[in-house]
A and B are shown apart, each in its own frame.
Chain A
Amino acid sequence: MPDELAIHARGVTRVYKAKPDPVTALGGVDLDVEPGEYFGLLGPNGAGKTTLIKILTTLLLPTSGTAKVAGFDVVHETAKIRRVINMVAGGEQSGYGLLTVREQLWMFSQFYGLPTREGWRRVDELIEITGLTEQRQQKVRTLSTGQRQKLNFARGLLNDPWVLFLDEPTLGLDVAAARDLREHTLSWKAAAPGRTLLLTTHYMVEAEQLCDRIAIVDRGKILALGTPEELRRRVQAESIFRLELDRLPQNGGIAGIAALPGVVSAVRADEEMADGAASDRVALKVALADDSALTSVVTAVAERGSHLVGLAKSEPSLEDVFVELVGRGFGDEDGDQEPAA
């Protein structure tokens, strides 16, 4: 089944028993992830991202609906799923502190049935790739948070998984360590076709930088799904450009520019001047139906005696998309949907 979807979910719900009322962590999720995709679940804490990962990694049963990983059902074919997946979570403290980095990885390699020699070879390979060579004989309990997470990532690759689940993998890491880890995930994916990653994160930049497609999740539902570009388009149909000119265009001025084919609107936006200094400069905010209309705008500006000093494309962020969809920002969530009891 080479064309089997890496992840397939239809109407997946998960309700937790809780007092006084049951808590719905997932409210009917439909999701298809192609093999070879880097897919992101983006949402605030309590959105249901981790619950979905727990279901897909066979740790939880869905209350209703069906879900398959690599074509295998998460309820009835757990053994087969477990042979082709692995999982790395942020802040993970797994393993045993008295073991060295090398020993810890070897121990986990045995849980995936790697033959002894192959296990050690794989362990040494991953230690080198993840940059833990200097720490290879160091006890796990002495590792820094960043080193620890590199170790967790290496553990997640021991069995060469076909689907790798990353649950907030950069949580608590400093900028450099998080960047290293992100690069590792991209390198690993690029090294062989068909490798699939499902990332949960509440870092917009991370999702945007890494993922081929993103699902924005909130309160157990997928609100929007698409490439980062497609998602941004949902809140902004036109391309918005900000032009800084040395003087106001003559011969029809701004109205002439607004009348050009492909230009939706053109307005002065002096209050948004980047440096706020040059008093004789003017700024225009030009909305285009398509990026290709930009050439005619720049030409028209020159023909009207102005010189282009600065040009920037104004992009909506994924946070803008989230706010547009949900009506609130990431920091305004109402707390965790997963019960603590």
Chain B
Amino acid sequence: MSGYHGAPATNASEAADWSTGRVIQTNLRAVLGRAYPRVIGLTREPSWLFFEIFLPFLAVSAFVFVYRALEAPEEFIGFVVLGGAMTSFWLNVVWMMAAQFYWEKDQGNLELYFTAPMHLMSVLAGMAIGGLVMTSSRALAVIGIGSVLYGVTYDIQQPFLLAGVFLLTMIPLYGMGMLFASLFLLWGREAFHLAQLLQEPIYFLGGVNFPLRAIGPIAGVVMATLPLGVGLDAMRQLAFAGSGVEGVLPVGPEILILIAMGVVFLVSARLALGYLEFLARREGRLTLRWQ
């Protein structure tokens, strides 16, 4: 047996002495590495076309026909299509971010992530970016098919602002997923139930199928807690600007709320991750398969 090469450093101490640049590069590469399986999964599992596009589209269609039967304003059809697309991101956050560390632990990946010379936030960021790319394709498919099939007319006067609001929504949304990833592992022995618990309320609290203003004072709670609800409310105002649609708040304050939520969720995720790692090492559980 031959072919194994010698290590380039002359001793272990030298090999462990990394520059700040190398630390940053390693973490950026870790983001890329962890995003890769999610992005490549698009081409490996064609069944997602059915489960991730066709099935959600049926749910969207049901609300379209309800609004048509009630002769609701035409922009409501657009609200539902947009809401259906944005729901994909929520489901991705709940199942592929929040519950992910739990699955990773079962597979034995979490141990390897902990022992690799990168920060775990890089793994979470990789999951988020990979999930964002993967889900964007699904969301675009729902919007495209829904818009064509049901004749949705958009009135976008500020396309860059709309794109910006979308991205601003994704930061706290996936930041929330990063936070939940640690919390699921800390709280739950069964991530499946926790994920289910988070999945259903969003259809009501997020206003995904109706204008958020309709739920009255509860909308205030949404404004303070749910990035998806805030972002969706702002995006609807920007996507159907000419129809005179009113949001819970004007777009400007909602943008500020999204920025604040982004900071809060990312910082919280970082703190929760630090606590998780400390607890995992102290208690001897959470990361280890035999626990």
Report A's interface with B, CB cutoff 8 A. Answer: 1-2, 4, 6, 14, 16-17, 35, 50-51, 54, 57-61, 70-72, 79-87, 89, 92-96, 98-99, 103, 106-116, 125, 128-129, 139, 155, 157, 159-160, 162-163, 183-184, 186-188, 190-195, 338, 340
Q: 17 pairs across A/B with beta carbons < 8 Å?
A: A54-B284, A59-B281, A82-B115, A84-B15, A89-B108, A103-B37, A110-B34, A110-B36, A111-B113, A113-B118, A160-B7, A160-B8, A184-B1, A187-B3, A191-B5, A192-B5, A194-B11
A162 near B33: Cβ-Cβ < 8 Å? no
Alpha-carbon separation in the docked complex, A57 to B287 (Å): 13
Find the A residue at minimum CB distance from B122: A111
Query: Assuming the A-B contacts A54-B288, A98-B45, are A103 and B4 also in contact, with contact meaning beta carbons closer than 8 angstroms in the complex?
Result: no
Number of B interface residues in the complex (CB < 8 A): 52
Given A51-B284, A70-B12, A129-B1, 7 further pairs, Cβ under 8 A: A59-B281, A83-B16, A96-B37, A111-B26, A116-B29, A139-B44, A340-B290
B107 at the interface (CB under 8 A from A): yes
B29 near A110: Cβ-Cβ < 8 Å? yes
Which residues on the A side are within 8 Å of B6 (C-beta)?
Answer: 191-193
Report B's interface with A, CB cutoff 8 A. Answer: 1-13, 15-18, 22, 25-27, 29-30, 32-34, 36-37, 40-41, 44-45, 107-109, 111-118, 280-284, 287-288, 290-291
A121 to chain B, nearest CB (A): 11
A98 near B30: Cβ-Cβ < 8 Å? no
B43 to chain A, nearest CB (A): 10
Which residues on the B side are within 8 Å of A79 (C-beta)?
Answer: 117
A109 near B3: Cβ-Cβ < 8 Å? no
Find the B residue at minimum CB distance from A51: B284
Give which listed residue, A59, A110, A195, contacts B33 with CB less than 8 A.
Answer: A110
Query: Assuming the A-B contacts A58-B115, A87-B112, are A93 and B4 also in contact, with contact meaning beta carbons closer than 8 angstroms in the complex?
Result: no
B30 near A113: Cβ-Cβ < 8 Å? yes
Query: Assuming the A-B contacts A59-B288, A98-B45, are A110 and B115 also in contact, with contact meaning beta carbons closer than 8 angstroms in the complex?
Result: no
Please give me the 10 A-B residue pairs with the lowest Cβ-Cβ distance, nearest first: A110-B33, A113-B26, A192-B6, A70-B12, A191-B4, A187-B1, A162-B12, A80-B16, A111-B116, A110-B29
B37 near A83: Cβ-Cβ < 8 Å? no
Query: Assuming the A-B contacts A83-B18, A184-B1, are A4 and B8 also in contact, with contact meaning beta carbons closer than 8 angstroms in the complex?
Result: no
Give which listed residue, B25, B36, B113, B291, contacts A103 with CB less than 8 A.
Answer: B36
B110 to chain A, nearest CB (A): 9
Query: Among the interface residues B8, B25, B116, B280, which one has the most CB atoms of the partner chain A within 10 A?
Result: B116
B108 near A93: Cβ-Cβ < 8 Å? yes
Alpha-carbon separation in the docked complex, A155 to B107 (Å): 15
Alpha-carbon separation in the docked complex, A54 to B30 (Å): 22
A112 near B281: Cβ-Cβ < 8 Å? no
Find the A residue at minimum CB distance from B13: A1
